[in-house]
Amino acid sequence: MDGIKFFEFLKTGNNLNGVILNDPKDKISELLGEPIELIGDRECGFFQYKNGVRIGYFGNEIDELAISFVGRGDIFYSVKLDNTYEITNHTQIHEFIFFLNNNNLSWKSFDEKSKMAFSIILKSGVYVVFDLETGCLYKIGKSRL
C-alpha cells in the first residue's frame, strides 16, 4: 500500500488494499494473495500479510480492516502531502497526532480506562492504538463493531 492509499484509508475508512468491510471472505485471496498466517478457524479469525495488513472475518464476511505494527520492523508508509510523513512501528503518539492535525483529520481519544494503550478514533471510524509503554504505534484499523 502506498502512502496516498494509506492516507485515504485514514480519511475514509472505506478501503484497505481493495478490501472493503462486509466483502465476502473469498475476495481476500483475489486481492491480496496468500497470507503469511491464518489465525482462527473457518468461522472467525484473521489473515495476516507480510506488509502488516490484517483482515478479520466472521462467518463469510470481512469484519475488520487493519494494519498491525507490533513486532514488525518492515512496515513503512511514506505519506507525501504538503510535507512527507513517515509512518512506521517507531512512530510515537505525538508524531502521529501532529500528522493528523496537520492534515485536518479530526480525532478524539477513547478507551481512557486502558492502562496499557492509548487509543484514538478518527471521524472516519478508523481507530489508532499506541502502546503506552513505548509510546509507539501499535495498530490502525476499522471494524464493523
Q: What is the pTM of this model?
A: 0.89
Pairing of strands 107-110, 37-40: unpaired
Same domain, 60 and 20: yes
The helix (run of H) or strand (run of E) holding residue 105 is none
Same domain, 81 and 135: yes
The segments of the chain whose pLDDT lies below 50 read none
* Domain end call among 32, 67, 102: 67
Total structural domains in the chain?
2
pLDDT tens, position by position, 47-70: 998 878 899 999 999 999 999 887
d(CA 145, CA 138): 19
Nearby residues of 78 by Cβ (< 8 Å), 6 or more positions away: 3, 84, 85, 86, 87
Same domain, 42 and 96: no
**Whole-number pLDDT of residue 73:** 60
pLDDT tens, position by position, 126-135: 999 999 999 9
d(CA 58, CA 71): 25
38: containing domain: 3-67
**Whole-number pLDDT of residue 113:** 78
Same domain, 96 and 120: yes
Same domain, 18 and 47: yes
